[in-house]
Amino acid sequence: MERRSFIKRSLAVGGAALLARPASAFGAGEPAAQEPTHTPALAFTGARFPESFLWGTATAAHQVEGAWKDDGKGESIWDRWGHSPGRIAGGANADTACDQYHRFKDDIEIMKRLNLKSYRFSVSWPRVLPTGTGAVNAKGLDYYSRLTDALLEAGIRPFCTIYHWDLPQALEEKGGWPNRDLAGHFADYAALLAKHLGDRITVWAPFNMPETFTYYGYGNGRFPPGRANTDDYLRALHTVALAQGLAYRSIKAASSKATVGSAYGMEPAFPRTQSDADREAARRFHELHNTLFLNATLTGRYPDVFAGPIPYEAMGFRSGDEAVLKCPLDWVGVHYYLRLAIAAATEPPKPRGGGQTPDPMSQFHIGLFNEGPKNDAGWEMWPQGLSYLVTQVSKLTGNLPIEITETGSVFADGPGADGAVHDKRRIAFYRDHLAELARAIQAGVNVRSYHAWSLLDNFEWNDGYTRRFGLTWVDFASQERKIKDSGLWYGRVAAANRVDV
């Protein structure tokens, strides 16, 4: 994910939160209220998973495909961003990335070696529709058809994320996501994919982490297109929520086999102290960052998460939009990386405006916890958060099937003197998180899959190639792949369908 680069520069993890400023980290001497209490994950071993459980990995087109202008592909906003000096760590870009466009068969062989049964990938919108609308690039569409066929031949379920942040640059120049017309364009794009691939792909996620790309692209400008305007963000938020509903309908109309959900980034949010103000701030953060888009889809309404009235006018909300927003999801996707400590803001709200004006409406501060061990990005690893999140999502959705669409961690381990990658900390990360997931499943939560982030070390957005999340080590100069010890361990887990291996 993400997961991922945007956390590094802001404690607004996942990006949907509208922040006044980040707070400091909080340690073990100041426990947050409302945390789950149960046996530590390390004491919960031998966890079995259901016979039908699907073990998988996840990637995103811009992060792994490369071939940024091959075979008629158009320019995306991330292509433009990566070619602009000073945007990406080390001056990197994703022109080649992991070259999966040319090497997907090799990567499927890795998946087979790891006993995987599900692969969550995304389609590059400008590879299929170079300007976002109009004539189809047949070679681009054929690539995803060949990828799908190769996955099915290998006994791996193709799980398609339609949009993982790489908007065609031509559509950004027409206003980007704040332009309400994009909802219809996106629905047309989704229908095109479902028409051509829906006979083989049955699991569709219109969006990856809508809370992130809307806020980071238009609210604070840390991601392309680099705008920092609250009203642009609010319009983008509403356009994307409309696009989810329209895409749901267009996919279903194009493919009778389709099941549709979406992939949401979520962080458990606990109040910094026991005060009423911090509790209320934590509630607002949770409903804005974790469940705003999900609630809009389930109910046709936005939750009351703002310090003032819901800004319908600024969003561009129209009569009848409630019916467009609401649609009966078939499943829900959950990403999890870390937990957050939330405190109420102390300064008064500020007017909305352009530039770098902080948003006035959510009014909370975000901090990280320091109680558990940390990964190489400095994030606390707290496996209990995964069982906690899926339990909360299950209650909200009436126990809809849940797909764990991403979890993972940053560790820099590379090949040792023996040529192997001995990443013991990543194994411990996955063991503890999978034990927690098994606990939730045994308690009745309907989780049907787990996708590790990521199959490969890859291009991590603004962090370039400085963050390694992969089960497979990649030499980005030679494109050599080397399965890490964690990948081999994960493959044994997938084969045994239990975590004590």
Domain ranges of the chain: 5-33+57-82+102-496
The dihedral over CA atoms of 170, 171, 173, 179, expressed in degrees to the nearest 10, equals: 170
In total, the chain counts a number of residues equal to 501
Q: What are the structure tokens assigned to 396, written together?
A: 């909200």
Q: How many CB atoms lie within 10 A of CB 42?
A: 11
Alpha-carbon span 398 to 190, nearest angstrom:
27
Q: How many CB atoms lie within 10 A of CB 14?
A: 27
- Extract the tokens encoding 29: 């001497």
Superfamily of chain region 5-33+57-82+102-496: Glycosidases (3.20.20.80)
Residues 335 and 211: beta-carbon distance below 8 Å: no
For residues 4 and 469, the answer to whether their CB atoms sit within 8 Å is: yes
Residues 6+ apart with CB under 8 A from 290: 211, 264, 266, 267, 269
Ranges assigned E (strand) in 164-216: 203-207
Sign of CA dihedral 308, 314, 318, 323: negative
Alpha carbon distances (Å) from 423 to 290, 414, 428, 474: 31, 8, 9, 14
Q: What is 232-300 written as a DSSP string?
A: HHHHHHHHHHHHHHHHHHHHHHH-TT-EE--EEEE--EEESSSSHHHHHHHHHHIIIIISHHHHHHHHS
**Contact predicate 293/245, CB 8 Å:** no
Residue 170 falls in which region: left (phi positive, over 0), alpha (psi -120 to 50) or beta: alpha
List of E strands, 96-212: 118-122, 157-163, 203-207
> Could you give phi then psi for residue 66, rounded to 5 degrees?
65, -145
Residue recorded with tokens 């259901």: 50
Residue 400: φ, ψ to 5°: -60, 150
Q: Which of 134, 138, 66 is nearest to 98 (CA)?
A: 66
Which letter does DSSP use for residue 48 in this model? B
Q: What is the pLDDT of residue 360?
A: 53
DSSP state of 358: P
Predicted confidence at residue 181, as pLDDT, reads 98
Q: Is 491 helix (H, G, I), strand (E, B) or coil?
A: helix
Cα separation, 467 vs 476, in Å, equals: 13
Does residue 5 have a cis peptide bond before it, meaning omega lies within 30 degrees of 0?
A: no
- What is the chain's pLDDT, residue by residue, as a tens digit (501 residues)? 443 433 333 333 222 223 222 333 333 333 333 555 444 444 455 689 999 999 999 999 999 999 999 999 999 999 999 999 999 999 999 999 999 999 999 999 999 999 999 999 999 999 999 999 999 999 999 999 999 999 999 999 999 999 999 999 999 999 999 999 999 999 999 999 999 999 999 999 999 999 999 999 999 899 999 999 989 999 999 999 999 999 999 999 999 999 999 999 999 999 999 999 999 999 999 999 999 999 999 999 999 888 778 999 999 999 999 999 999 999 999 999 999 999 998 776 665 555 444 455 667 889 999 899 999 999 999 999 999 999 999 999 999 999 999 999 999 999 999 999 999 999 999 999 999 999 999 999 999 999 999 999 999 999 999 999 999 999 999 999 999 999 999 999 999 999 986
Q: How far apart are CA 82 and CA 72, in angstroms?
A: 19
Q: Find out whether 63 and 161 touch, Cβ atoms under 8 Å.
A: no
Residue type, 16: A
Which pLDDT does position 363 carry in this prediction? Answer: 78
Paired tokens of 51: 């016979």
Number of H helices, E strands in the chain: 17, 14
Best CA proximity match to 300, nearest among 319, 323, 329: 323
In the chain the first and final C-alpha atoms are separated, in Å, by 26
Residue 402 sits at φ, ψ, to 5 deg, of: -115, 135
**Encoding tokens for residue 76?**
């995306």
Report the predicted TM-score, pTM, of the whole model to 2 decimal places.
0.92
Task: Report residue 484 as tokens.
Answer: 């890490």
Burial (CB < 10 A; 0-12, 13-18, 19+), residue 176, is buried
The strand pair at 447-453 and 472-475 is best described as unpaired
Residue 24 vs residues 85, 123, 269, 357: alpha-carbon distances, Å: 31, 38, 15, 21
Q: What is the pLDDT of residue 22?
A: 32
- How far, in Å, CA of 106 to CA of 122, rounded? 18
